[in-house]
Homo-oligomer: A and B are copies of this chain.
Amino acid sequence: MTEERELTLEEQLAALEAERDEHLNDLKRVAAEFENYRKRVLRDQESLVARAHERLVKELLPVLDDLERALDYASKHEEAKLEEGVALVHRSLADLLAREGLVEVETNGKFDPHTQEALLSQPSDQEEGAVIQVVQKGYKLGDRVLRPARVVISQGSDG
């Protein structure tokens, strides 16, 4: 019955108007949410970086403390304590960096151009292309090479 009859033009107009207004309201609402989100993201990003940094700097404070204690032993020429102190500082910094994901670049075996830099090659009784000396350790953080290992490689025995 009523469901079957055609809408009058006036009724169609009213329905369309309602639809148009609804879309317009939704558009305004989504645009406002987007804008607020954008502003919040900018604020968050700054504080995210600041907080990430802050945490790491804070973890370095005990290393700095241990180092100052070692410095104090050095100034008093208390050598045994100084040696212990340096070992302690080294362990705490190395542990901290390992917790951050730092790992040493492998240097056992053949030269790897992705993680190593060859400073020079020398004749040696090792196989050609083998790493024969590490001049400076290399480090990776996750997949990224922060610093390649600087190495000397073998030219082979007939180099």
Interface residues of A in 86-102 (CB under 8 A from B): 86-87, 89-90, 93-94, 97, 100, 102
Tell me whether A86 and B82 are in contact (CB under 8 A).
yes
A136: Cβ under 8 A from any B Cβ: yes
Which B residues are CB-close (under 8 A) to A120?
A: none
0/1 interface trace, chain A 140-151, chain B, CB 8 Å (1 if under): 011010110000
Tell me whether B146 and A97 are in contact (CB under 8 A).
no
Tell me whether A67 and B89 are in contact (CB under 8 A).
yes
Tell me whether B52 and A67 are in contact (CB under 8 A).
no
Number of residues from A at the complex interface, CB < 8 A: 62
Tell me whether A74 and B65 are in contact (CB under 8 A).
no
Which B residues are CB-close (under 8 A) to A93?
A: 60, 63-64, 67
Which B residues are CB-close (under 8 A) to A56?
A: 53, 56-57
Interface residues of A in 23-79 (CB under 8 A from B): 23-24, 26-27, 30-31, 33-34, 37-38, 41, 44-45, 48-50, 52-54, 56-58, 60-61, 63-65, 67-68, 70-71, 74, 77, 79
Pick 26 A–B contacts, CB within 8 A, sort by A.
Answer: A16-B17, A16-B20, A30-B30, A33-B34, A37-B37, A37-B38, A41-B41, A44-B45, A53-B53, A57-B97, A57-B102, A57-B141, A60-B93, A60-B97, A61-B146, A64-B97, A65-B136, A67-B86, A70-B90, A71-B86, A71-B90, A74-B86, A74-B87, A77-B79, A77-B83, A86-B86
